[in-house]
Amino acid sequence: MKSKISTACYAMLLTMLLPLVAAAQERLLVLTDPHLLSPALVVNPGQPYTDAINSNNKMIDLGAPIMKAMVDTILAIHPTAVLVSGDLSKDGERRSHQDMAAYLAQLRQAGIKVFVIPGNHDVNSDEAKGYYGSTTRRVTTPTSAEFATIYADMGYDQALERDNNSLSYLAEPIAGLWLIAVDDNMTVQRDTDRSIAANDITLSTRNWILAKADQGRRLGKQVMVMMHHQLVEHFDDQDRLVGDATVTDAANLRQDLIAHGIRLVLTGHMHIGNITTQFNDARTDSLVEATTGSPLTYPCQFRLIDVSADRGTFSFSTGTIDHIEDIPDFQSYALQRFKNSTRTTVASVVYHSWDDLMAVLDQYSSYIGDVNFTQEQATEAIYTAFHDEIERLMVALAQGNEPTRNVQDLRNAMMGKVGTLVDQLLPNLNFLARLIVVPMIQNQLDSMLGKALDSIVNDCNQYGTAQAHVTDDLAPTLHFTPIAPGLTGDVNGDGTVDVTDINIIINIMLGMDDALNYAGRADVTGDGSIDVSDVNDIINNMLGKQ
């Protein structure tokens, strides 16, 4: 015989379960650097378009089908919220942003929250162009205000608060978790009417970030940061070898964030899936930076983060786009495209290391004479000598967890080919000079590159120092201080919000009580002061207005 649950019992059961449902584990999905180029801007694909495709390892020609596959994947997973950490467009084309907003709108229509920030390719760009056969034409690019309008439904209209001096904002993607979405692309003037994005955060925005972190802690929120550029070098000498990927004054900003209770930072920009732990100077506290790969660059990543009910445990997993329209085995295709970009990567490293390379060779000018090869010739020689090793290194770095990729021999293998490189660059070197120069250059290159190689193959930044730490790149579980449940306005912590809480605030305002007795709960608004606005918030809470 089946028993029926009465309406009263059902209501009581629902009342008991609702708090558990509200605080249940939630899932976030992190997407970064989709670099969408609107197909409408490729009016006639010619040589400039081909050059753009071949200039780096981004598959910009497949941006639209990749985003379609990404949207389908997200809809199937159906996370609570999607976090997009910048570089939504190829180079800031307004039409590309409009297309991207349309893709993300499909997620919003399905009830999935979306929060975006700009990257260095998104706002006030002087590289925004359309392709018209043998020529290109500059196209419109959004200002900061226009960017916020295009993505109004993807963070800006949902913000709890916006920074007055940037496109940064504060949001709460899931209950109990605050997201400080940081615009780290301070614009600087280049020409009279154009500006470019720099990897910098203004002092006022920096102070705003720290104030929001403090406010969140006072209100019992777990607080994390999302920004485009990196806060930590993910392998040693990263910025020196591949350009400035980290935000300006990163070392001090890291220490400030740790001191203000930030334990997790989500980034993009480098197109690698790497997670690293950074300690404070005393190694008594730390934060974790998780950078995510681009869907346009092998292995075409996105991240899932399952957040525990107490907001104290963040469990990562890493997904990939495995098929797109017309390319069912997309991973194999993307891997080959990635390997084909090795020469471009070598050219970038040569460009950033050119002065160091010339300084090394200048030390041995008495043996080798004048150096008369160009950067292009050096790129070709290095690519020819080290092609296999560089390809393996790039693939391992892109995949993450490098020690599992059988790359420990790369350092010795590369140094063993210096003789081949010398023969390519200095073909007229006599036998005796070669015997002297090769080991000398081996030592110098080991000094220049050895630290980076050790860091990459061991997946450990600050390798060999007291700060060294290896963190799982693909599926770590991070444990932070859980957030204690509480009610906004419950100043005395008795589980209810009522006139007693108002009386406490009034007594504090009159100097009859000490705010320290209430663990920060008396500052209900979190604005740093205890005044009538806190009373108003409690009254609104009691009346059900917030």
pLDDT tens per residue, range 212-222: 999 898 888 99
Query: Do 127 and 96 form a contact (C-beta atoms < 8 A)?
Result: no
pLDDT in the model for residue 62: 98
pLDDT band (50, 70, 90) for residue 260: very high
Least confident stretch, 20-34, 35-49, 340-354, 495-509: 20-34
Q: Kindly report the backbone phi and psi dihedral angles of residue 425, in degrees, each rounded to the nearest multiple of 5, phi listed first.
A: -80, -35
pLDDT in the model for residue 53: 93
pLDDT in the model for residue 195: 54
Distance separating the N- and C-terminal Cα atoms of the chain: 45
Strands 264-267 and 286-291: parallel
Separation between Cα atoms, residue 404 and residue 458, nearest integer Å: 9
Separation between Cα atoms, residue 159 and residue 150, nearest integer Å: 15
Separation between Cα atoms, residue 315 and residue 533, nearest integer Å: 38
| Over residues 69-95, mean pLDDT | 97
Question: Between 522 and 185, where is the model more confident?
Answer: 185
Least confident stretch, 164-168, 380-384, 511-515: 511-515
Least confident stretch, 63-77, 285-299, 435-449: 435-449
What is residue 271's three-state secondary structure?
A: coil
| Over residues 272-279, mean pLDDT | 93
The model's pLDDT over 169-201, given as tens digits with 9 standing for 90+, comes to 999 999 999 999 999 998 654 444 455 567 899
| Over residues 423-445, mean pLDDT | 82
Identity of the highest mean pLDDT range in 67-76, 430-439, 441-450: 67-76
Give CA angle at 233 (450, 284), nearest 5°.
110
pLDDT in the model for residue 284: 84
Query: What is the residue whose two structure tokens read 């800006």?
Result: 156
| Over residues 1-28, mean pLDDT | 48
Domains delineated in the chain = 23-337+470-478 (3.60.21.10), 342-399+409-457 (no CATH), 499-542 (no CATH)
The model's pLDDT over 309-318, given as tens digits with 9 standing for 90+, comes to 999 999 999 9
pLDDT band (50, 70, 90) for residue 441: confident
| Over residues 429-433, mean pLDDT | 82
Query: Do 218 and 177 form a contact (C-beta atoms < 8 A)?
Result: no
pLDDT in the model for residue 38: 98
| Over residues 328-352, mean pLDDT | 91
What is residue 188's three-state secondary structure?
A: strand
pLDDT in the model for residue 134: 95
| Over residues 490-498, mean pLDDT | 77
pLDDT band (50, 70, 90) for residue 519: low
pLDDT in the model for residue 479: 94
Segments in 179-329 forming alpha helices (H):
203-218, 238-242, 250-259
Identity of the highest mean pLDDT range in 380-389, 468-477, 514-523: 468-477
Query: Do 170 and 115 form a contact (C-beta atoms < 8 A)?
Result: no
pLDDT in the model for residue 418: 85
Output the average pLDDT for the chain.
87
